A and B are shown apart, each in its own frame.
Chain A
């Protein structure tokens, strides 16, 4: 049994269990500039997030409400933490790198590391890379990011399908 659960420790690392259980950024923002919902119709996971921009256009703050598994809640919370203070174009680059990491287990560092400025942020998402071994769970990790991009683009609703 222990060897079966060892593999699960890659998926459910302590940082994920911790953020899944005690998200720091859960909750709707009282004042926000954009909001969007993400929906995974296959499993019923839902996330809504609220976004506030700083005067210089960077993301100042993100709050979210999620009804989903430990992976999706932890991913939303880590995302909110990491994108704070990040310019929108860097958020897009981070998302595409994170998506690669979630699917394949490692990030295309070169794509996000012109000058290495995003490498540190991507590294903080590394605990979620374990989902690549669980194909049905990749969308749990990427759903909050789809919602974030939708909020940025003003699409309001998105789906991880």
Chain B
């Protein structure tokens, strides 16, 4: 898809109905895609069509409508397997989001496979969703928790990372594939090799990364990969865990209920095969249709085009924001995606966000669910602009101009 010129971008932006909305009497400039991305019409339509033409519960009805709904739901599993290049569709487990996927692994792999005395290694740049589940595991199960530091540039300190694995007690590494604050893309393939060399399995949190680049779990040689639909232009309420089949099979279930059993008596129950063992209860049927459409949308735009577009935007944003007096950009990683966090002298991030909002510009402000990372850089909060396929250079210009006005306001 052509994302190089204004005609191509105008055509792409027309796929996203919300972009015609006005905010405070001004055109919406949505620079908060890392929190949640906007939805193309194809996603909206897929969900509507599901509800209007082929909706029923899945995996249980013997009637025509339920069979169609089940087929569609299971087809989404194929789409996710293709997106991740997973070798086996049964390795795709649907969850509500990345948070639930990580909690699933922390619970089932953490309690079922890891032994007290072993440790989990995370990094300083994790989202709270990749910190708190491991703290809960530590407190309940006696598994240690180690934290790999981040350099001043906002990159993972690889030497320190490896040193933390050296004693061989780390059973699992759980680390982001791209920081939601710094934009840093971690060298996932190297992290996998280092983890495996020290006998640890590795989970990659792809919530941000998968929006910006092609993910191939086989090429990465990872053990678990998680992502969420709503950041990938899909609906909220559905995400996925990929895990190696042998690992998933060795793990006890997460939630108990319908759909995850093979038989139930009051004395005991036995579990369904993977992935159904981990999918208790009626799943997000309508959202699955939306996720399929989102994946197909991203594939149609193409990761090469997305990557080139976002690299262009990010370079432009870094240059333009740095030129605004008093702006300090957090994170200077070599390899980065379309997320730029910054502070403005004499103005708190919340005040910056409110003043930008009045100009129609939506940015996030706060700790971005990464308080330990903020503390590491001696900050309480930053403002963050993040980009999607629909973001234009003109919007980056508007952000820079808007920040100039904010600066004058608080001067």
A contact residues vs B (CB 8 Å cutoff): 1, 3-5, 7-8, 11-12, 17, 21, 42-46, 67-71, 134, 137, 140
Question: Which chain B residues border A68 with CB–CB below 8 Å?
Answer: 348, 350, 380
Q: Is B152 among interface residues, defined by CB-CB distance under 8 A?
A: no
- Quick one: which of A1, A4, A140 has the most chain B CB within 10 A? A4
Q: In the complex the two chains form, is A43's CB within 8 Å of B24's CB?
A: no
Q: In the complex the two chains form, is B366's CB within 8 Å of A8's CB?
A: no
Q: In the complex the two chains form, is B358's CB within 8 Å of A71's CB?
A: no
Q: Is B354 among interface residues, defined by CB-CB distance under 8 A?
A: yes
For the complex with contacts A11-B354, A71-B350, 20 further pairs of A-B residues with Cβ separation under 8 Å are A1-B359, A4-B24, A5-B355, A5-B358, A8-B409, A12-B409, A42-B366, A43-B350, A43-B367, A43-B381, A44-B380, A45-B350, A46-B380, A68-B350, A69-B349, A70-B347, A70-B348, A70-B351, A134-B354, A137-B350
Bound: A44/B354 CA distance, A: 16
Q: In the complex the two chains form, is B26's CB within 8 Å of A4's CB?
A: yes
Question: Which chain A residues border B354 with CB–CB below 8 Å?
Answer: 8, 11, 134, 137
What is the interface of chain B mostly: helix, strand, loop, or mixed?
A: mixed
Bound: A159/B302 CA distance, A: 45
Question: Which chain B residues border A43 with CB–CB below 8 Å?
Answer: 350, 365-367, 381
Q: Quick one: closest B residue to A6, CB to CB?
A: B358
Bound: A67/B366 CA distance, A: 12
Bound: A72/B407 CA distance, A: 19
Smallest beta-carbon distance B119→chain A, Å: 28
Smallest beta-carbon distance A15→chain B, Å: 15
Smallest beta-carbon distance B369→chain A, Å: 10
Q: In the complex the two chains form, is A69's CB within 8 Å of B366's CB?
A: no
Contact (A140, B350) CB under 8 Å given A12-B409, A43-B381, A44-B366:
yes
Smallest beta-carbon distance A77→chain B, Å: 14
Which of A3, A42, A69 is the one whose CB lies under 8 Å from B25? Answer: A3
26 pairs, A vs B, C-beta closer than 8 Å: A1-B405, A4-B25, A4-B26, A4-B358, A5-B355, A8-B354, A11-B354, A17-B410, A42-B366, A43-B350, A43-B365, A43-B366, A43-B381, A44-B366, A44-B374, A45-B380, A67-B380, A68-B350, A69-B349, A70-B347, A70-B348, A70-B351, A70-B410, A71-B350, A134-B354, A137-B354
Question: Which chain B residues border A134 with CB–CB below 8 Å?
Answer: 354
Bound: A70/B26 CA distance, A: 25
Contact (A44, B371) CB under 8 Å given A8-B354, A134-B354:
yes
Fill in one digit per residue for B178-195: 1 if any A CB lies within 8 Å of its CB, else 0: 000000000000000000
Question: Which chain A residues border B26 with CB–CB below 8 Å?
Answer: 4
Question: Which chain B residues border A5 with CB–CB below 8 Å?
Answer: 355, 358, 405, 409
